[in-house]
Amino acid sequence: MGRARIEIDTQRCKGCGLCVVFCPLGNLEVVDEPNDAGHYPVRVKDEAACTGCAICAVMCPDVAIRITVEEPARK
């Protein structure tokens, strides 16, 4: 499996925290500063630690999280 990349649309995120609760690594947290809508979005603590399981994206009711997995180069 390649390296996972997680993208959070902070303007779409309402900070409900479902992704934070369901992340098996505890790698997500709600930030202290609101977005333009006044919601406190989520951020990734350590992008390199993300395994790409995509549980956070599945749980997000606002479809604010996108996971992509970069396949390793073939030799």
- CATH classification for the domain delimited by 3-69, as one of 3.40.50.300, 3.20.20.70, 3.40.1350.10, 3.30.70.20: 3.30.70.20
Q: Are 43 and 50 in contact (CB under 8 A)?
A: no
The 8-class DSSP code of residue 11 comes to T
Residue type, 61: P
Whole-prediction pTM value? 0.86
Q: Which of 22, 20, 3, 10 is nearest to 68 (CA)?
A: 3
How many C-beta atoms lie closer than 10 Å to residue 42's C-beta?
24
Domain boundaries, the chain: 3-69
pLDDT, residue 72, reads 73
Using CA atoms in the order 32, 57, 66, 49, what is the torsion angle rounded to 10 degrees?
Answer: 70
pLDDT, residue 1, reads 55
pLDDT, residue 73, reads 67
pLDDT tens-digit readout, 65-74: 999 988 776 7
Low-confidence ranges of the chain (pLDDT < 50): none
